[in-house]
Structure formats: C-alpha cells, structure tokens
Amino acid sequence: MNLARSFPLFAIVFAAAYAILYVVAVEYNLALFTYHPALEEFGFLVEKPKEGPAMYWYGWMATSALGAFAVAAIASWLPAGWARRVWTGWSWAVPLAVMLVFGYLLRGFFIR
C-alpha cells in the first residue's frame, strides 16, 4: 500500500497536537458537544446538566480530533526538508507528558 509521503509527519503532529488539545479541552471544558445520559440527548457545544449529569468526554475528543486533524493537515504541507527534521519521538513524548499532567491534575482523588 502506498501512503502519501506526508503521512509520517501528519501522524507525528496529530499525536502531539491531539494530546495537547485534549488536555486544553478538558481543562477549559471546550467540548464540541454534550451528552445528557439520563435524557439520551446530545447538545451542541457545552451545555449545563439537565436531568442527571452531563457528559463532555465525547465532545472533548471530538474537539481535539478536529483541531489536531487541522494542525496535522497544515503541517503536512511543510517542505520535505523540514519534515525530515521533525523528531519522531514527539509522537510519544507529548502524549506521555499529557498523561503525567492528568496524573497531576487528578491528584486530589488520591491524596485526600
């Protein structure tokens, strides 16, 4: 199977951008949509809980995926020379850092 030459850069940038956008989306509640499980209803963007809790997790992932796709698509247009210089390790280093950030943000659950 032939892949576009730009796919490696797309994949690296997507992994890094998605992780960053996800933690930002969670921290600032930038959900693309809200799900109300008790009502089985979706709402556009962030909505307050109606009956029962509101779920933003799906919306956070959608926000991050769309944003990361856009960033990675733009990065794919970089000249080949620049693209070759991008460290492949960003694809794991940024997600790892974001996971550690979540550990820090949620520490209150474990140190009560």
Partner 1 sequence: MIVVLLIIHALLAVTLLGAITHQTISVWLPARKAAGSFVGRMRAVPATSYANAIVVLYLATATLGAIIYPSYRLTVRVVLQQLEMYAANGAFELKEHFVAVGLGMLPAYWYFWRQPLASDYARTRAVLTALLAFVVWWSFLVGHILNNIRGFEV
Told to check if 62 binds partner 1 by CB under 8 A, we report no
Binding to partner 1 (CB under 8 A) within 63-92 occurs at 64-65, 68, 88-89, 91-92
Of these, 15, 30, 75, 83, which contacts partner 1 (CB under 8 A)? 15
Q: Which of 68, 61, 64, 62 is nearest to 11 (CA)?
A: 68
Q: C-alpha angle 68/71/72, rounded to 5°? A: 80
Specify whether the CB–CB gap between 98 and 22 falls below 8 A: yes
Cβ-based nearer residue to partner 1, 8 or 43: 8
Reduced to 3 states (helix: H, G, I; strand: E, B; else coil), residue 61 is: helix
Specify whether the CB–CB gap between 36 and 50 falls below 8 A: yes
Where along the sequence are the contacts to partner 1 (CB under 8 A)? 3, 7-8, 10-12, 14-15, 18-19, 22, 26, 35, 37-38, 40, 52-53, 55, 57-58, 60-61, 64-65, 68, 88-89, 91-92, 95-96, 98-99, 102-103, 106, 108-110, 112
